[in-house]
């Protein structure tokens, strides 16, 4: 694994890479180990200096830090700040890091104490609202998805290593779904955020006849008003749209708008 790599005859430096996790399921990191067929090739491309979930050795100097998870406790702000200091490039890995992910679903309750009590009763437990990384540090690159798609990560890491600019698709999942020749899920009676969600997953869920829940956040110029009309046409109510828009945090502002329209969402709890 130590041979000199080159690209078009130009020698490449294997970047030192660290993987870190804040509040998360750690599934995005595991997706990298789920790259069985290409794992050894991938490992050849980078020098992993920190990957707590997979190795005991730890190093604190790295070129690229991949950070999974959202910030939900004060000590995670300090950890994240430290990682930012050590890294040349900080990558938000997965929807929790990019948008808060499913963790931010607890933010929709007005009373944070109720949230704590519902799970821990009177036992004291420290937490705060779930935040994406960018609320505290500069994020150089975002890799969307819950989970991230391993092929996309490999492509992005390869681009980083050879010094290419990383571009995300601007069009929505709908485009990829059509290219895969799927029957439109609306026609099958399944609600879907494919028309407004950023592509790049190759219509992962919709190709499996599961409607898109928007884990990758909005596409450029996503037309939410039109989505609402489509949903309405096919007989889906506001709650069905909201469930999907608020699930991963990427559509947080749109979800807020819909909640405001509904004036008093049943999901919001008042202080008792």
Partner 1 sequence: MKLSCEVNVHHLTRVEGHGNISISIKNGVVKKAQWQVVETPRFFEAMLVGKHWENAPYICGRICGICSIGHTLASIRAVENAFGITPSAQTANLRLLLKHMETLQSHILHLYFLAAPDFLGAGSVLPLAKSHPEVVQRALRLKLLANDACDIIGGRRLHPTRTVVGGFTMLPEKGELEKIRQRLLASVPDLLASAELFKTFAIPDFSRETEFVSLKGDTSYPFIGGGLVSTDGVLKKERDYRAMTNEYCAEGFTSKLSKLSRASFAVGALARLNNNFTLLHATAREISKFLGLLPVNHNPYMANVAQLVECVQVTLDSVRLIDTLLGAPWQEPRQPVQAKKGEGVGAVEVPRGILYHYYKFDSRGKVIKADCVIPTSQNHANILRDIEALASQYARTGKKDREIELLAEMLVRAYDPCISCSVH
Query: Where along the sequence are the contacts to partner 1 (CB under 8 A)?
Result: 1, 21-31, 33-34, 36-37, 39-40, 43, 48, 51-58, 72-73, 76, 101-103, 105-106, 109, 114-116, 118-121, 123, 125, 127, 130, 146-147, 204-205, 208-210, 213, 239-240, 243, 247, 266-267, 269
Q: Is 11 exposed, middle or buried (0-12, 13-18, 19+ CB in 10 A)?
A: exposed
* Distance in angstroms (rounded) separating the CA atoms of residues 49 and 63: 10
Residue number with CB closer to partner 1 (2 or 9): 2
Residue number with CB closer to partner 1 (28 or 227): 28
Residue number with CB closer to partner 1 (75 or 220): 75
Residue number with CB closer to partner 1 (43 or 159): 43
Least Å from the CB of residue 96 to partner 1:
9
Least Å from the CB of residue 9 to partner 1:
27
* Distance in angstroms (rounded) separating the CA atoms of residues 170 and 216: 11
* Distance in angstroms (rounded) separating the CA atoms of residues 71 and 77: 7
Residue number with CB closer to partner 1 (54 or 235): 54
Four-point Cα dihedral 56, 94, 142, 205, nearest 10:
140
Least Å from the CB of residue 44 to partner 1:
10
Least Å from the CB of residue 233 to partner 1:
20
* Structural contact between residues 237 and 228, judged by C-beta atoms closer than 8 angstroms: no
Least Å from the CB of residue 172 to partner 1:
18
β 10-12/5-7 pair status: antiparallel
* Structural contact between residues 265 and 242, judged by C-beta atoms closer than 8 angstroms: yes
**Owner of token pair 């937490």:** 127
Least Å from the CB of residue 165 to partner 1:
28
Least Å from the CB of residue 109 to partner 1:
7
Residue number with CB closer to partner 1 (164 or 178): 178
Four-point Cα dihedral 131, 78, 126, 244, nearest 10:
20
How far CA 86 is from CA of 63, 69, 126, 165, 190, in Å, comes to: 8, 18, 27, 22, 45
Residue number with CB closer to partner 1 (59 or 220): 59
H or E element at residue 205: none
């Amino acid at each position: 694994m130590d041979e000199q790599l080159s690209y078009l005859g130009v020698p490449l430096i294997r970047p030192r890479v660290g993987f870190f996790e804040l509040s998360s399921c750690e599934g995005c990191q595991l997706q990298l180990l789920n790259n069985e067929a290409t794992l050894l090739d991938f490992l050849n491309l980078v020098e992993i200096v920190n990957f707590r979930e997979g190795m005991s050795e730890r190093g604190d100097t790295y070129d690229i830090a991949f950070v999974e998870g959202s910030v939900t406790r004060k000590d995670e702000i300090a950890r994240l700040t430290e990682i930012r200091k050590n890294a040349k490039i900080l990558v938000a890995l997965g929807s929790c890091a990019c948008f808060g992910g499913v963790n931010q679903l607890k933010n929709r309750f007005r009373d944070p104490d109720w949230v704590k009590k519902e799970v821990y009763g009177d036992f004291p437990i420290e937490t705060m609202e779930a935040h994406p990384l960018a609320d505290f540090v500069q994020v150089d690159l975002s890799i969307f998805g819950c989970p991230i798609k391993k092929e996309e990560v490999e492509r992005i890491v390869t681009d980083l290593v050879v010094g290419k600019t990383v571009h995300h698709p601007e069009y929505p999942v709908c485009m990829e779904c059509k290219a895969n020749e799927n029957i439109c899920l609306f026609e099958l009676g399944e609600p879907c955020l494919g028309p407004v969600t950023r592509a790049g997953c190759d219509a992962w869920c919709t190709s499996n006849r599961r409607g898109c829940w928007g884990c990758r956040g909005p596409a450029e110029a996503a037309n939410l008003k039109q989505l609402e009309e489509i949903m309405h046409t096919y007989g889906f109510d506001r709650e069905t749209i909201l469930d999907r828009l608020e699930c991963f945090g990427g559509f947080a502002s749109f979800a807020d708008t819909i909640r405001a329209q509904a004036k008093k969402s049943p999901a919001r709890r008042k202080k008792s």
